[in-house]
Structure 1
């Protein structure tokens, strides 16, 4: 992971745009989503296995690689400006309202599994329930970590500090390069990394519990949820005059 002084980080930010990557990544996600839908529903639209197991595993591997790419870029972005990931301009206000430590909450993923995969075996059901319990415990650990950072910020509230520090160019003055702010940025980077690690680990364990075809059936609503939040959120922001109609 690249590191350096705050000034060198600012120069790197100008040459690297996570927002540009994110828009391209979402476009590629939409293409993957169409492939998954076709694999699950086929041309008739009726749900049923229309893909061989080997092909299903390859498609799942591509999806995992797609998200791995996202977290690699996100880690880079967090190192350059951890504040921005807590106040992302590339997300709609609706998307931001669902964020849990700069991303989706892992237990939401597990709820989608329960809602979308109805043919779990008894062993799969037990494994999923164990994973839910473990994930709730681990979520609490990360939340406590963020709470400890909040305690180091006397006033104003942490999110106010983050919003002001995320985009210093918009402020008349900025103290984001002071030592306390640099320490806060590094602390937030660590929390984001731990939250992302939990997200990735949870997704990987879900893939281990489910069969390949069950996994594809789960991915259909999981990706649709992300897409719906993005599209609906941008439409709301455009109507409210707080966003653009570009995707």
Structure 2
């Protein structure tokens, strides 16, 4: 009994340690999001008005700066995906649980993150908002400025539309794969436990333990695949946009993510829930 209790305590301590590492990974990512957002916003606000003519060197320098910021943000995202995938190998439940998210964020999650199709929806929303802003300013006597998401070309819109359709189909396939693995919990040998005539609710055997570990690996694989899918979809979308539009989009998407996270924390704290 002493050995069993010691084993349980060690297992609990290890799980708690892994949960802490996963939580720290997420907090580091959010701080990096804030820093990236600040740099993107600075690049946008420091951009000269488009009605002012710039020489070729200035234009090239500005475009290169924006390309650098976009690639820097994508590298940060890729490193975050890799790091949390590594952590998941040590403690899979930490990958699924996301206890660091607020009760506002949890219902929005799809495979431990956002749906990639949300990127496209956000582009359409920003396109409409910024186009109307441009038009209103022009009708009030201002100059019609271009270069943001309100200035997407017909070719860009077609590519975004195609990306949306491909993304939704891929999301459905991943959701189906996850559902299939989840349903496997009702198959033998795991389901055999339900037929045992015993009151012990924690009894298992080697076959069950092996099946549970296999089930865990399968689920982790789907989540890791979803992370890579989020990354690749975002890259494809940014390849459609020009550097200024990419910076505009990334600044808006990071602000939305940060705001939802902060709103959720404030709501939970007001209700006495701590993270």
TM-score (norm 1): 0.80
How far 1:208 sits from its partner (Å)? Answer: 0.7
Task: Quote how far apart the aligned CAs of 1:210 are.
Answer: 0.4
- Number of residues of Structure 1 aligned to a counterpart in Structure 2: 219
Structure 1 residue aligned with 2:221: 190
Q: Does 1:209 align with 2:213?
A: no
What residue number does 1:166 align with? none
Map Cα deviations across residues 63-106 of structure 1 (whole Å, 9 max, x no partner). 01110111011211222222222221111111111100111100
**Are residues 1:112 and 2:116 paired?**
no
Q: Tell me, yes or no, if structure 1 residue 24 matches structure 2 residue 28.
A: yes
Corresponding residue for residue 39 of structure 2: 35
Matches within 5 A, 1:1-80: 14=17, 17-42=21-46, 52-80=62-90
Alpha-carbon distance in 1 for matches of 2:124, 2:95: 29
C-alpha distance in structure 1 between counterparts of 2:94 and 2:260, whole Å: 20
How far apart are the structure 2 equivalents of 1:134 and 1:82? 29
Consecutive unaligned residues of structure 1, counting only runs of 5 or more, are 1-6, 156-172
Task: Give the structure-2-normalised TM-score.
Answer: 0.72
Please show how residues 72-221 of structure 1 align to structure 2 within 5 Å.
Answer: 72-116=82-126, 117-154=149-186, 178-221=209-252
Q: Give the whole-Å Cα distance in 1 for the aligned partners of 2:46 and 2:274.
A: 36
Matches within 5 A, 1:223-242: 223-242=254-273
Worse overlay, 141-150 or 177-186: 177-186
Question: What is the root-mean-square deviation in Å for CA atoms of aligned residues?
Answer: 3.0
Which structure has the bigger radius of gyration? 2
